[in-house]
Structure formats: C-alpha cells, structure tokens
Structure 1
Amino acid sequence: MPCNLLTSPRWKAEHLGLPMPDSPHAVSVSLPLWQHNIKYEEGDPEVIGRLQAAYPRFCLHPFVRRLCHDVFGAENAGLIFPSTAAAKRAIDYVVWRGGQSARLITLADQMACGVAVDPDDFPRLREYWQHAG
C-alpha cells in the first residue's frame, strides 16, 4: 500500500532514504534531519546507501543500474545513452578529461548505445552524465 504523505509524512530519522512519493520512479527522498542533508552532500556512504531513489542526474535509477549491470557486467563500468551521437559526446568528454578506456557499445539495433569504461574512468563518464543533461 503506497504511503499517503499528507497523512503520514516522512519526517522521522527512520524514514531516511525512503522515496517521495512512494513510487519506483520517485526523484525525491526523505532526508529528515539536517545532519542527513550534510552527510548526503559530503557523500557519506551510510546515508547514500540508504537512498531508495534520487534525481536521475545525481543517482542512477535502479532499473538503469540493473540494465548497466546486464550490459557491462559486474567487473566493468558503463552507462547507457539514448543515441550514438550522445554516446560519442560522452566518449569525447572522457578522453578530454584524460580517460583512456572509453569505448562505444551498440545496443538494440542502435536504438541506444552504451559507453564502457574501466572502473578508473567511470568518475569521468559519470561527470558527463550528470552535467550534460
């Protein structure tokens, strides 16, 4: 049963990381204490690990995370882009930032493309994902 936020707001410490609204596609989560907000901004693994949703530019949607795992495997890193052109721009960015491992992965008859990187280059790819929009 979904949570009714009007009658049961998520304001207690135990609500940390719960999605708002109660949906697998929510882009907001409960950060009920000021300290939770500070720790989120500092990248504290305890807080980050409790987030069940987030705005897509800051956190991969669980479905996207699962797709990336299926495409790139547990040992590799990568992200999915909506077109070859978008994937190539991501590769150009990774190379421009000093990365060496970015490579294009074509998916579903070019309906989408992946960019695979070594784990060391993933922060550069993630930067592009976050800031390119």
Structure 2
Amino acid sequence: MMKKTYQLGQVSGSAGLFSTASNLARFANYMLYPETQGVLPETIIESVLTEKRGNRGLGFQVYQDSEDCLACGKSWPLGTFGHTGFTGTSLFVDPKEELVVIFLTNAVHFGRNTKIKEIRSTLHSLIYSFYSKRS
C-alpha cells in the first residue's frame, strides 16, 4: 500500500504535527480563543470541532461521546479535542479547563516498531490526572 505523501509527489499536509512547541501552543490558543487570531473566521474554527464524522472533526479527534477512543486516553473529559502525528507527536486541548498538552517526539527515529500509542495515551492521562488534582 502506497503512502499518501508518495502518492502526492512526496509532499502532504496530512502527516501530522510538525512545528515548535511554542507555535503549537499559539495554535492551541487560537483554537481556544478564535477571536484572538485574524486569519480564519471564528465560524470556521468552531466548525472544525462541531462537524464530526465518528470521533473526527475537520482535522481533529473530538471527544463528544464516552464510546469515543482518543489517543489521549479515557481520563480526559468530553469536549477534549486534539491531533496526533505519525512520529508520535500529539496536541490535546481540554477547552473547559483551558489545558493544552503538547508532546513532540520522533518515535520513528530508531524504527517504526514502537509503543508510541501506549506511551502517548499514558503520558496524556498522567498529565491530566496531575492537573485535575491541582484544580
């Protein structure tokens, strides 16, 4: 089976998150507060999280049903949204608590047979558990 990037001539915007933690935090802030950015109409940003197919919004996993299975684990509340990347990266947002967790890694550097899905879920669950105990 051919990869999308190969099929598209080696360039594709669907491979995940590629940026700095600072820029991803700014992006997450725009998702939490669409009125603070001047690039996209607020209605577009809102539709990203409300127009769903299964547990996917337009580019994001969106936790709206307790039967959904998100990469951040089950400890995050309904309303959480986020995205993962092929190399193990992830960004998840709890809009009620205004909590953003960004995990940048290159899990495929030493090969593709990793346990990144379990690591990512465990990491996000631990961070949310720690955060929710402090609030």
Q: Please give the TM-score of this superposition, normalised by the length of structure 2.
A: 0.23
Q: TM-score, normalised by structure 1?
A: 0.24
Larger Rg: 1
Which has more helix, going by share of residues?
Answer: 1
